[in-house]
Homo-oligomer: A and B are copies of this chain.
Amino acid sequence: MVTLAEVARQAGVSPSTVSYVLSRKRSISDDTRRKVEAAIEALGYHPHAGARALASNRSNILALMVPLRSDMYVPVIMEIAMAVTTEAREYGQDVLLLTKDEGTRGVRRIAGSGLADAMIVMDVELDDDRIPVLRETDTPAVLIGLPADPAGLACVDLDFEATGAACADHLADLGHRDVALIGEGEGVYQRHTGFAALTLRGFQRRAAERGLRAMHRACEGTYESTAGILSRILEERPSTTAFVVQNESAIPPLLSLLRLSGRAVPEDTSVVAICPDQVALQSSPRLTSVSIPAEEMGRRAVRMVMAQLEGDRGESVTLLPPILTVRESSAPPSAS
């Protein structure tokens, strides 16, 4: 372990000087700066994280709490986590991975130990028990997701209500009259995760406003459940000409089933997905979709949390506007 003191000796300056060239908190002559930097380079010096945390009361670590096993689509979680990690490095911060199952104890542990300077919390439930703990703590925090009562907290999320509405609008614009939303699994609605319910509400309201007849069915995403739901929908309302899919796992089965039943997409049936762009682009045909801005949410969360570390009050709700991209899976309903 090479220490700051050794660097100082090697450079022929005092320890505090070395500290200051590192922190840029006071001006240093070009000459000494160079000497110090040379010494750092030569010795391969890296400041001891613990010592720094102790003296400065800043760990330069952000805690990220992710779902251990959730109904959320795994690639989205991963993309958010990677975006958070990448963006955090831009601020010189590292990321500590916590699992949601540590729950409030995890939050208390982090806040109490100074292990992290701030927290980013994913997979937020409407009435999440971590929220009160976060509120009473003075550790800056940002939620990715929207709880029932966001008062006193900072949140980022896709505007799912607007997302549902955008899907209804697009299909109404194309001239569809009977549409169906294939949603997330039952569990997602029951666990009171906000996004699924919000999407549904936005979809139904806008559908009503636009004079569409809208159905909704929860879907677990397996081949079997998708098949069952599809056939039930088509039985109950054979005039259905368009589907909105929210559960990413249901996309491959749905496309496969439509093909099998001889319904061409988009000629006979339109499909609009709510999914990451990558999924929409990998499917065949490429899907018209509202993209889940996973990377954007991750980056924003970091920026928001860093702003709080700079003194920002940290009470804000950022809802990212949905972006619907028209691709090959949606078209006007066939004249038949």
Residues A11-46 near B (CB distance < 8 A): 44-46
A interface SS class: helix
The listed residue (B51, B99, B112, B224) touching A44 by CB distance below 8 A is: B112
A53 to B82, CA, bound (A): 27
Whether the Cβ atoms of A282 and B113 lie closer than 8 Å is: no
- Shortest CB-to-CB span from A222 to chain B, Å, is 5
In the complex, what distance in Å separates the CA atom of A230 from the CA atom of B310? Answer: 56
Question: Of residues 218 to 234 in A, which have CB atoms within 8 Å of B's CB atoms?
Answer: 221-224, 227
Q: Is the CB of A113 within 8 A of B49?
A: yes
Most chain B beta-carbon contacts within 10 A, residue among A52, A77, A82, A224? A82
A181 to chain B: closest CB distance in Å?
21
A84 and chain B: residue at smallest CB distance: B97
Cα distance A99–B95 when bound, in Å?
10
Known: A51-B54, A78-B77. A46 touches B282 (CB 8 A): no
* Among A49, A66, A109, A224, residue most surrounded by chain B Cβ atoms (within 10 Å): A49
Q: How large is the interface on A (under 10, 10 to 19, 20 to 34, 35 or more residues)?
A: 35 or more
**In the complex the two chains form, what is the Cα distance from A199 to B47 in whole Å?**
43
Partner of A114, one of B1, B222, B253, B255: B1
Q: C-beta contact mask, A190-229 vs B, less than 8 Å → 1, else 0?
A: 0000000000000000000000000000000111100100
A97-B96 in contact (CB<8A): yes
State whether A48 touches B113 (Cβ < 8 A): yes
Cα A35 to Cα B107 with chains together (Å): 25
> Contact between A64 and B97 (Cβ–Cβ < 8 Å)?
yes
Contact between B85 and A74, CB atoms less than 8 A apart:
no
User: Measured between alpha carbons, how far is A47 from B78 in the docked complex, in Å?
Assistant: 31
Partner of A50, one of B54, B82, B89, B283: B54
Q: Given A97-B96, A260-B259: A222 and B284 within 8 A (CB)?
A: yes
